């Protein structure tokens, strides 16, 4: 290696080491800098290895020493000399560490089915942005979208399936330009835990012979469902649009949108259903190089295991599925002993606003989480907008509550149903239907997870056809 090449490499490594250590320590001290401390400190350690192994001692530190103390300065040797004298140990230690990490990586991948559920779900995570995650983010609409034409194996709570999207980024066997039926919903409609032929959409296609567009996506609420209808559902010119709601929809709204965005939607007039109500999210400050490095590192299970441990130490145990204990929590009334929680009223009723959205604050979980009251009013507003879009486009619109016997299901279905009745939207609660089917011995939900089994998806599709027999009628010939 030529002298000038060695000097150039030494200068580059000195810059990386110095800046990474300085910024990392500043970040650890609590000063905000556009990088994570662990990333910068890891970068400094990685840069030390080739500097020590190849004794790159005529770099930036050496040059600064000569400027300050003259040609005989030995700053670089004084600072890094211990590493230079032990470069064989540094090289051997690096190789052993890499081999050990490789063995741990392979072990984690092989042991995935027997690891604790929360850890296994984090290691195999796919519901994420960046790396090999299935999502990208539309910052203008504050919507996570599944990557188009993307395929990868999935693992969650012990269940494996194949994720494959069409050109629009939805889980359909082929990209549709027209669909008789559009399904909107979250992971229950997406088909979490099962293969695509075992989803509600697939069973509905088989039972009716109609084209069915599955616009379901994991972890979304009414905001994303409304955006998907406006941008992807309407161009398909459907005859039916079914929106499937779940117990956690209001939670998803509070996570995705700020209170200001929700209130802005509530205050909008109804004459323009396409009017925007979100403020775009600021662009990421991460450089393309740093993002690429972090995406690459994020694919390794050892890195994800470290992230899991760090997150567990910071935040404690997290819930990772729809599964809940079998004991159902009863909804509280204004007269219930709410352990010091006082009755809170969300707001006075505005003209045209559903009463159900206003009085949400009288029972749990709205008592202890008043932000859900605004999320409910936001949901009422978007349901009204969907009803107006259905009237303009001429499709039939209905809402189905997937009552899976979760805590406060009775409260949520009562609120959602009251909104739909006031808006003139057909509303169906599938709770009693699921109870009958389970009493008959059908296994509708995945154990330890709570999403639909193949049988649960099939029975849901059949109940939909029973409620809407026109779905199974032969198509009119042109």
pLDDT, tens only, 327-338: 333 333 333 333
- Give the contacts of 395 (CB within 8 A, at least 6 positions apart): 182, 237, 238, 239, 240, 241
What pLDDT is stored for residue 229 in this prediction?
A: 97
CA 89 to chain centroid, in Å, comes to 44
pLDDT computed for residue 286 by the predictor: 67
How many of the other CB atoms lie within 10 Å of CB of 113?
A: 10
Q: Quick one: pLDDT at residue 318? A: 42
Q: Which residues of 209-245 are buried (b: 16+ CB within 10 A; e: fewer)?
A: ebbbbbbbbbbbbbbbbbbbbbbbbbebebbbbbbbb
Average pLDDT over residues 169-184: 96
The token duo for 451 is 């999403």
Least confident of 19-33, 78-92, 219-233, 407-421: 19-33
pLDDT value at position 275? 84
The structure tokens 């117990």 sit at 247
**Upper half-sphere CA count for residue 355 (Cβ side, 13 Å):** 4
Strands 159-164 vs 240-245: parallel, antiparallel or unpaired = unpaired
Q: How far is CA 43 from the centre of its chain?
A: 28
The pLDDT of 309-330, averaged and rounded, is 51
pLDDT at 476 over 80: no
Is the pLDDT score of 322 beyond 70? no
Q: Of all helices (H) and strands (E), which one includes residue 35?
A: none
Question: Can you tell me the mean pLDDT for 231-254?
Answer: 95
Distance of alpha carbon 255 from the chain centroid: 10
CA distances (Å), origin 238, targets 78, 217, 225, 326, 359: 74, 19, 15, 39, 35
pTM: 0.78
Q: Which residues are CB-neighbours of 45 under 8 A, at least 6 positions away? A: none
Angle between helices 454-467 and 200-208 (to 10 degrees): 50
Torsion from C-alpha of 383, 357, 377, 342, nearest 10 degrees? -150
Query: What pLDDT, on a 0 to 100 scale, did the predictor assign at position 58?
Result: 83
Question: To 10 degrees, the CA torsion angle through 296, 299, 302, 306?
Answer: 80
Pairing verdict, β 135-138 and 143-146: antiparallel
Alpha-carbon distance of 189 to 214, in angstroms, equals 7
Confidence of residue 317 (pLDDT cuts 50, 70, 90): very low
Domain regions of the chain by residue span: 3-110, 170-285+318-472
Report how far Cα 114 is from the mean position of its chain's Cα atoms: 24
398 in helix, strand or coil?
strand
Asked if residues 212 and 154 have their Cβ atoms less than 8 Å apart, the reply is no
Is pLDDT of 135 > 70?
yes
Q: How large a percentage of the chain has pLDDT more than 90?
A: 50
Q: For 289-294, what is the mean pLDDT?
A: 73
What confidence score (pLDDT) does residue 362 get?
A: 61
Which of 137-141, 267-271, 272-276, 408-412 has the lowest average pLDDT? 272-276
CA 185 remoteness from chain centre: 14
d(CA 158, CA 269): 47
pLDDT for position 106: 94
Report, as an integer, the average pLDDT of 423-431.
96
Instruction: Give the confidence band of 359 by pLDDT, cuts at 50, 70, 90.
Output: low
- What local confidence, expressed as pLDDT, does residue 334 receive? 32
Alpha helix stretches (DSSP H) within 269-426: 288-297, 301-315, 355-358, 371-393, 409-423
pLDDT of residue 175: 93
**pLDDT bucket at 315, cuts 50 / 70 / 90:** low
pLDDT at 425: 97
Would you say residue 126 has pLDDT above 80? yes
CATH of the domain spanning 170-285+318-472: 3.40.50.1110
| Cα end-to-end span (Å), the chain | 76
Please tell me the predicted confidence (pLDDT) of residue 344.
Answer: 32
Residue 326 in this model has a pLDDT that exceeds 70: no
Q: By percentage, how much of the chain surpasses pLDDT 70?
A: 87
In contact, 250 and 372? CB cutoff 8 Å: yes
**pLDDT class for 249, splitting at 50, 70, 90?**
very high
pLDDT confidence of 456, banded at 50, 70, 90?
Answer: very high
């Amino acid at each position: 290696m030529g002298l000038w090449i060695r000097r150039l490499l030494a200068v580059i490594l000195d810059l990386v080491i110095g800046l990474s250590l300085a910024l990392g320590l500043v970040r650890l001290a609590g000063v905000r800098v556009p990088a994570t401390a662990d990333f910068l400190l890891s970068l400094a350690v990685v840069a030390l290895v080739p500097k020590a192994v190849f004794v790159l001692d005529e770099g930036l530190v050496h040059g600064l020493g000569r400027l300050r103390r003259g040609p005989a300065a030995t700053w670089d040797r004084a600072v890094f000399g211990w590493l230079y004298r032990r470069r064989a140990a540094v090289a051997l230690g690096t190789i052993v560490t890499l081999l050990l990490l490789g063995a741990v990586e392979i072990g984690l991948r092989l042991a995935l089915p027997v690891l604790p559920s929360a850890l296994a779900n984090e290691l195999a995570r796919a519901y994420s942005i960046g790396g090999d995650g299935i999502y990208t983010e539309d910052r203008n609409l504050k919507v996570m979208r599944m990557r188009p034409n993307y395929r990868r194996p999935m693992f969650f709570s012990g269940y494996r399936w194949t994720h494959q999207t069409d050109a629009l980024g939805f889980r359909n066997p082929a990209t549709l330009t027209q669909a008789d039926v559009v399904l909107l919903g979250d992971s229950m409609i997406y088909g979490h835990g099962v293969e695509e032929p075992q989803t509600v959409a697939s069973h509905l296609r088989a039972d009716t012979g109609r084209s069915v567009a599955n616009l379901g996506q994991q972890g979304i609420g009414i905001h994303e469902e409304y955006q998907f209808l406006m941008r992807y559902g309407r161009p398909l010119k459907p005859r039916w649009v079914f929106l499937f709601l779940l117990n956690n929809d209001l939670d998803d709204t509070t996570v995705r949108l700020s209170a200001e965005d929700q209130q802005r939607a509530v205050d909008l007039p109804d004459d323009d259903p396409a009017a925007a109500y979100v403020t775009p999210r600021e662009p990421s400050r991460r450089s393309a190089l740093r993002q690429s490095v972090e995406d690459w590192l994020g694919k390794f299970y050892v890195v994800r295991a470290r992230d899991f441990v760090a997150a567990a130490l910071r935040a404690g145990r997290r819930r990772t599925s729809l599964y809940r204990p079998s004991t159902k929590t009863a909804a509280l009334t204004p007269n219930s002993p709410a352990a010091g929680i006082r009755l809170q009223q969300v707001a006075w009723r505005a003209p045209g606003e559903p009463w159900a959205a206003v009085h949400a604050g009288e029972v749990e979980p709205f008592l202890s989480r008043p932000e859900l009251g605004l999320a409910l009013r936001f949901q009422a507003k978007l349901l009204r907008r969907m009803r107006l879009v259905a009237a303009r486009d001429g499709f039939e619109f209905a809402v189905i509550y997937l009552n899976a016997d979760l805590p406060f299901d009775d409260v949520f279905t009562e609120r959602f149903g009251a909104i739909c009745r006031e808006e003139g939207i057909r509303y169906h609660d599938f709770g009693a239907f699921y109870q009958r089917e389970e009493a008959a011995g059908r296994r509708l939900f995945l154990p330890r997870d709570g999403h639909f089994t193949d049988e649960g998806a099939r029975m849901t599709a059949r109940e939909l056809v029973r409620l809407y027999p026109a779905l199974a009628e032969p198509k009119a010939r042109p």
